[in-house]
């Protein structure tokens, strides 16, 4: 039996120190890694190599990370982990809005970055499995087509990122049930760093912006639930 082909990662980072450190760690994990420090060259590389995951710096010279992410997702959807020195909620939501699946604020640990890359890959594999089930979930005005990975609210399609879709689908499995942030982090992102629960909060805010403010209910001090009658 032949060995499976190693997964490929396009790393887009203009800080050479960070780029070399991340590249070396990902190579040590068995990934094929290509590094680009410029947005235009990164888009050319993306079209040629069709990577399994993109690790993308938010602040790039010239064509910034947001526009790079937007163009990549328009050409061929891909899991994107965005790196950013910006920690304001609005900046993070903008990144999620153009198609980033996850983000990490600098400085970050290499161990956590590797964990998040693996989690993105597992999420893609799980999405393929769930799509084969050909299920439509309806909760109030929300309709989730798991095969097509499409979401409609009152007949209007809402365009969600891969992570937003997976989060909504998880909440929709048991409408009204409260899911703790830590549980959602483990189920969707594949790791359980207590300090990373803000990631869940940011994605819930993104869902509310796209689906409506009352779709996901907050239970303060506990977590989130999908409203039964949206």
Q: Which residue has the higher pLDDT, 230 or 197?
A: 197
Class of CATH domain 133-226: mainly alpha
Task: Report phi then psi at 58, rounded to 5.
Answer: -65, -40
Burial track 87-126 (b if 16+ CB lie within 10 A, e otherwise): eeeebbebbbbbbbbbbbeeeeeeeebbbbbbbbbebbee
Specify whether the CB–CB gap between 57 and 14 falls below 8 A: yes
Q: Coil, strand, or helix at residue 102?
A: strand
User: Which phi-psi region, left, alpha or beta, contains residue 212 (left: φ > 0; alpha: ψ -120 to 50)?
Assistant: left
At residue 91, the pLDDT reads: 64
More confident residue, 41 or 88: 41
Answer whether 8-127 and 133-226 agree in fold: no
Least confident of 34-38, 86-90, 123-127, 137-141: 86-90
**Digit-coded pLDDT (tens) for 153-212:** 999 999 888 888 989 999 999 999 999 998 998 888 777 665 567 788 888 988 999 999
Portion of the chain with pLDDT greater than 90, in percent: 50
DSSP 228: S
Q: What is the C-alpha to C-alpha distance for residues 102 and 80, in angstroms, rounded to an integer?
A: 7
Identify the pLDDT of residue 153.
Answer: 92
Say if residue 99's pLDDT is above 50.
Answer: yes
Q: What are the extents of the domains in the chain? A: 8-127, 133-226
Q: Which pLDDT score is estimated for 90?
A: 61
Q: 144 has which bridge partners?
A: 137, 151
Fold topology of 8-127: Rossmann fold (3.40.50)
pLDDT at 26 over 50: yes
Mean pLDDT, residues 14-35 taken together: 96
Residue 1: the pLDDT is: 44
221 or 130, which is more confident? 221
């Amino acid at each position: 039996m032949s060995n499976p082909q190693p997964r490929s990662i396009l790393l887009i980072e203009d800080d050479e120190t960070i780029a070399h450190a991340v590249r070396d760690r990902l190579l040590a994990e068995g990934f094929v890694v290509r590094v680009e420090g410029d947005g235009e060259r990164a888009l050319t590389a993306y079209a040629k190599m069709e990577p399994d995951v993109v690790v993308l710096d938010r602040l790039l010279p010239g064509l910034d990370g947001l526009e790079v992410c937007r163009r990549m997702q328009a050409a061929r959807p891909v899991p994107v982990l965005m790196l950013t020195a910006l920690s304001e909620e609005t900046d993070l939501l903008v990144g999620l809005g153009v198609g980033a699946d996850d983000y990490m604020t600098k400085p970050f640990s290499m161990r956590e970055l590797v964990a998040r890359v693996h989690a993105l890959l597992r999420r893609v594999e799980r999405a393929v499995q769930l799509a084969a089930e050909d299920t439509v979930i309806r909760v109030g005005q929300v309709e989730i087509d798991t095969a097509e990975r499409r979401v409609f609210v009152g007949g209007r399609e809402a365009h969600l990122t891969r992570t937003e879709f997976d989060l909504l689908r998880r909440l929709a499995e048991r409408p009204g049930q409260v899911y703790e942030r830590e549980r959602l982090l483990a189920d969707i992102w594949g790791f359980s760093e207590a300090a990373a629960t803000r990631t869940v909060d940011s994605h819930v805010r993104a869902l509310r912006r796209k689906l409506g403010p009352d779709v996901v209910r907050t239970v303060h001090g506990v977590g989130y639930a999908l409203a039964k009658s949206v």
